[in-house]
Structure 1
């Protein structure tokens, strides 16, 4: 029975991470080939996914109210801060990095977030700077330099706008991860993320209303990819990944989460025909090693 539950957890974690990785690549396809507006897409992605997650929460917890997070003024303020500077900034910057570059690079730049977290805790003197931290930073600098320049000090092989948004994505994910703990100690993750998506989606709706999407742009391919990107690449990916924690340890789930950037790279290369130069490939390898090292780290979580 224990082995069966563990298998369920592994399948859920792999599905969640894979859907996240493929969701980024599908977004890349929609921006490149279907001319989907990034602002509208972020609005739809946040609002629809948020509603789905709250629906799932209510379905699993029929006796609990979805509005419990608003019963306390402090929690409400924290939720709005998390929604704007965490959820909205993470989602928009990640999509913008994909829009100006590609899903593989955007995902790798976002996955550097744990290194920003290490630096933050060291600067705040909440953790001592250790050899592991130095290795992580060297891997980050080396891998990112090779990924973005292919070893040349004279020019970038990735558009600078994609790089800037990718860095913002990593920094905002670091904030997202650190700040979320204030809410997650009091409320279920699916409830926190569901409301954060809806609040940030409503804010985006002022810039790009969800109803302002021309029906003439819709065809079977668009509908299929939009459905996957919004529902499976966002809402269900998060739900599967969180659900896997019922069967696996947080460290194991995080380890399986490293499938996301690998999936984004493979899908970008084989489906979207994104090519990587030799030193870029070495940079990708170094960043993947960094991600795996951070996941396998046996030190107690910071």
Structure 2
């Protein structure tokens, strides 16, 4: 298996894990009343601690070398705050201000932002296959998230603001760590980034003042979000984008709404409608279009 195909698989797995995480997060916020700020910080700190423990056990020499490289440490901190922390909080807040479907649609504007930035850097226009993939990605995400209803995008100014910020944050999350991933792999920068982002967020949002009611279900779902929806998702997705490139990696990640819809049907009793099936087709088509390279 060549490196590009591995990148496609890693990116798809990452997006799928995000879909699982999104459904779990919506459940906690909707049915358990968990504050999005608290959930954001638990994800970042929990995943950051898990990854840091793993990397100190498995990659101790590389970690020590990175910590002795000031530019790399600073890059990790910028990635943690400007990429990981910003992405998590903006997306969860967009859901709270609108709904999961609308927030997902707005966040996937990042596919356009990333591709345009990459094209500007390389001073070239997108090729035909990339243009087709962009359209397929956006159409599929729109259909799955809104069932084709344009009226669902008539949202509050706050919802539009946070949805746009979620797209900007996702763009930064993809682009900021590219050199880090090339130099240090995906696990070390992600672990340090999540831990520093979680610590910064803890103090910025004064998370210790947020109350929460815990029960067994809440604990189990929170652990699932941390381990599968954060540790595995971010690591696999970042590894994938380092192999396929940021623009295509971001578009391959659009399997997230597909997995989120399936999980919602299984765990939250969501009923599939014809628009869902059509949207699935567009999203799966995007994966195949981008995989042929």
TM-score (norm 2): 0.77
Contact 1:108–1:261 (CA<8 Å) still a contact in 2?
A: no
CA distance in 1, matches of 2:118, 2:98: 31
Counterpart residue number, 1:52: 50
- Residues 273-300 of structure 1, C-alpha deviations (whole Å, 9 max, x = no match): 3456654653454244334423x140xx
* Structure 1 residue 65: Cα displacement: 6.0
Alignment partner for residue 75 of structure 1, among 61, 72, 76? 72
- Residues 57-107 of structure 1, C-alpha deviations (whole Å, 9 max, x = no match): 011124x26353342332233223222221112111222233345556655
More off after superposition, 217-226 vs 24-33: 217-226
Alignment partner for residue 272 of structure 1, among 264, 268, 271? 268
Contact 1:142–1:283 (CA<8 Å) still a contact in 2?
A: yes
CA distance in 1, matches of 2:51, 2:147: 40
Alignment partner for residue 187 of structure 1, among 184, 187, 212? 184
- Residues 8-31 of structure 1, C-alpha deviations (whole Å, 9 max, x = no match): x99998875544321111111000
Counterpart residue number, 1:6: none
Contact 2:202–2:208 (CA<8 Å) still a contact in 1?
A: no
CA distance in 2, matches of 1:289, 1:162: 30
Taking only aligned residues, the RMSD between alpha carbons, in angstroms, comes to 3.8
Alignment partner for residue 28 of structure 2, among 12, 21, 30? 30
CA distance in 2, matches of 1:65, 1:244: 17
CA distance in 2, matches of 1:137, 1:242: 18
Residue correspondences, number = 283
- Residues 147-206 of structure 1, C-alpha deviations (whole Å, 9 max, x = no match): 5664455x2268555565444334322322222112123223211011111111112112
Look up the SS of the partner of 1:204 in the other structure.
helix
Contact 1:54–1:66 (CA<8 Å) still a contact in 2?
A: no
| 1:132–1:257 distance in 2 versus 1, CA, 3 Å | closer
Q: Which structure shows the higher helix fraction? A: 2
Counterpart residue number, 1:226: 222
Contact 1:93–1:169 (CA<8 Å) still a contact in 2?
A: yes
Contact 2:146–2:152 (CA<8 Å) still a contact in 1?
A: yes
CA distance in 2, matches of 1:21, 1:150: 18
More off after superposition, 19-28 vs 69-78: 69-78
Counterpart residue number, 1:66: 63
Look up the SS of the partner of 1:133 in the other structure.
helix
CA distance in 2, matches of 1:243, 1:144: 21
CA distance in 2, matches of 1:60, 1:104: 39
Counterpart residue number, 1:86: 83
Rg comparison, structure with higher value: 1
Contact 1:34–1:222 (CA<8 Å) still a contact in 2?
A: yes
TM-score (norm 1): 0.75
Contact 2:77–2:192 (CA<8 Å) still a contact in 1?
A: no
CA distance in 1, matches of 2:273, 2:153: 9
